[in-house]
Chains A and B, each alone.
Chain A
């Protein structure tokens, strides 16, 4: 089976700063993978490379065997950490707007997700709290039938209830046989049960990776504990 994502000697430099250094790893299809690490460890760079938004300085970022770029855009739903919503739109308009350039966006699923997230179509984005905007961003990604979902810090800086809603929606909407979700976070405690694989990044390199339950067994501790150990 082809890997969802493959990094081959993948490096990214911004001027003198080495954001990712010679990364080699494979992410199998059908998994929910947590990309863990403190700020500046390379998480966002990793996701942007596979979203095809930036180019590697050297090496390759492959999405389902193809080099990330224009050709893979339709296979990847990417949610950036910053807010990319238009403040003047309503939630419903944002969904329609997104569906106009992502033909794989399922309007029916989007409707259900809006409901589940307690978002009203008529609500102006400008009037939504940060947590509600984060929920809407996720709706737009989860409603797509893209085989790869890349979520950059979907849980950071928002209220606990929104975090729970977002994690719940990820677990519920995720299609195990046809979808791979990679989400970056440093909110490990609440998300522990949602992912099955973890990658710990440290200064642009992989510090540790593996199956979450196997790591619990092997190290006799939670992923949260491992996080604290690695980055102490």
Chain B
């Protein structure tokens, strides 16, 4: 796991766990690695990991069974909700960045449509000059 030092580390650990739940790598009911294990694996202070777990618990995503560990809550909705959350975040940052480039939401939408129609290749403006033809 690579961290961005300008963003609180515990938030990044939370995001990574949420992403694993969305992708199905962590399933409802499944146990998370122990704080110690995860701290060692990603070389982060164990207190930071413990804080990420606490916040995930507060958000209703995981729960702790005393003496056993931390588990993803056994609710089928959780991956769905987390996915929606992430989709919203991606959309919001997409439109925000487009706006900062002076592209209106409407234009951005039609650009996105064309982009997708061409199988994800950029059309018109060439931004990647490094790529040889």
Name A residues whose Cβ lies closer than 8 Å to a Cβ of B: 30-32, 167-168, 171-172, 174, 176, 189, 192-196, 212-214, 216-217, 220-225
- Is A167 in contact with B43, judged by CB distance below 8 angstroms? yes
Expressed in whole angstroms, the Cα–Cα distance for A217 and B46 within the complex equals: 19
Q: Nearest 9 A-B pairs (CB), nearest first?
A: A222-B5, A213-B8, A196-B47, A193-B44, A222-B6, A176-B46, A216-B8, A172-B40, A192-B5
Contact indicator A216/B7 (Cβ below 8 Å)? yes
Which among B3, B8, B35, B45 has the highest number of chain A CB atoms within 10 Å?
A: B45
Known: A171-B46, A172-B39. A213 touches B51 (CB 8 A): yes
Residues of A within 8 A of B44 (CB): 171, 193-194
A138 to chain B, nearest CB (A): 15
Name the interface residues of B91-121: CB closer than 8 Å to any CB of A. none
Assuming the contacts A171-B40, A171-B44, asked whether A176 and B50 have C-beta atoms less than 8 A apart, the reply is yes
Residues of B within 8 A of A167 (CB): 43
**Which interface residue of B39, B43, B44, B47 has the most chain A CB atoms within 10 A?**
B47
Q: For residue A176, which residue of chain B has the nearest CB? A: B46
27 contacting pairs across A/B (C-beta < 8 A):
A32-B45, A168-B43, A171-B44, A171-B46, A172-B39, A176-B47, A176-B50, A189-B5, A192-B3, A193-B44, A193-B45, A193-B48, A194-B45, A195-B45, A196-B45, A196-B47, A196-B48, A212-B9, A213-B8, A213-B10, A213-B51, A214-B8, A216-B8, A217-B8, A222-B6, A223-B5, A225-B6
Main secondary structure of the interface of B (DSSP, over half): helix
In angstroms, Cα B133 to Cα A197, docked, is 51
A171 touches B45 (CB 8 A): yes
Within 8 A of A (CB), among B1-37: 3, 5-11, 35
Which residues of B sit under 8 angstroms from A174, Cβ to Cβ? 46
For B50, the chain A residues whose CB sits under 8 A away are 176
Closest to B40 in A: A172
Partner of A224, one of B3, B5, B46: B5
Which residue on B lies nearest to A192, using beta carbons? B5
- Beyond A30-B47, A193-B9, A214-B8, list 18 extra A-B contacts (CB 8 Å): A168-B40, A168-B43, A171-B45, A171-B46, A176-B35, A176-B46, A176-B50, A192-B3, A192-B5, A196-B47, A213-B8, A213-B10, A216-B5, A216-B7, A217-B8, A222-B6, A225-B5, A225-B6
